[in-house]
Structure 1
Amino acid sequence: MHYQRGKDRGQVFMTSLEGMVDSDSWARIVDLFVDALPIAELGFTHSKLNKEGNLPYHPSDLFKLLLYGYRHGIRSANQLSNACTINVEVM
């Protein structure tokens, strides 16, 4: 019998994350909305840089993640962190 086979998981695809997100995705709306806001005037400030560890995330990126999480019922930091690793819209 012949069966349909899935794609080779070792295959390299040349694509961007931008191209993998639907044009009518909620993530695109959140992205445009937050980019239009005066983030600094709203009180979102950068954290102080530390010599150790990773650089901090931009406040607008964290705000986008929070809004996306509220829209999709993701409330905890652990669930948001997990969504950032498996959900292309959040990457």
Structure 2
Amino acid sequence: MNILFGFININSYISHIKFIQHQDRKQTSIFSISIDAAIAHDNEVRVIDIFVESLSLKDFEFDLDFIENDRPAYHPADLLKLFIYGYLNKIRSSRDLEKECLRNIEVMWLLHLLQPDHNTISNFRMVNEKAIKKVFRATVQIAKRLRLKAGGHFGALHCQLAINFIRCNTLQISTLRPLDFSLC
């Protein structure tokens, strides 16, 4: 059991240390304001971020292995966030997702300014196909528990699942309450 929108699992935080590190969203750089301030508080990327950070990727059987002496890999949670964002916004191609990482401020915020290339995105999708399907099933279960209307559609590889995080019921992050859910 995990608690959605509750405390972030410390094991998830520690496992991020072994991977390519993010930049701080609140750090001012080429923008005159921090990237965090540029994203509205009710933006769907904040919901995606909270949702993915609340998951135990090990329970969903994501590939968390890496070679100790090689170049650090992107953490699967970061690539899953990009993948979910792409499906919610009808961006299916790994090359298009790569472009979004360079030009879309929502994606920049979501990935902490990481810029994975299309091969990395495509390989993640291929290696974690079953785990991604499980996440989408859990997403639909959560939407049912929150009584969200089935608005937009996004495909999880071979199946179409109906969900729309914010647009249907104008769901606000501040109104979310902790929710117990079983992972599968």
Q: Which structure has the highest strand share of the two?
A: 2
Matched, 1:79 2:99: no
Larger radius of gyration: 1
Alignment of 1:1-91 (within 5 A): 13-49=31-67, 51=69, 54-91=71-108
- Root mean square deviation, CA, Å: 1.8
SS in 1 for 2:36: helix
TM-score, normalised via structure 2 length: 0.40
The answer to whether the 8 Å contact 1:47/1:56 transfers is no
**Following the alignment from structure 1 to structure 2, what is the Cα–Cα distance between the partners of residues 44 and 24?**
28
Partner of 2:125: none
Q: CA offsets, 1:40-81, max 9 Å, x none? A: 1111122423755x4211000100100000000000000000
TM-score, normalised via structure 1 length: 0.76
Q: How many residues align?
A: 79
Q: 1:25 to 1:45 in 2, by over 3 A?
A: same
Structure 1 stretches of 5 or more lacking a match? 1-11
**Following the alignment from structure 2 to structure 1, what is the Cα–Cα distance between the partners of residues 58 and 81?**
15
> In terms of mean alpha carbon deviation, does 17-26 or 42-51 score higher?
42-51
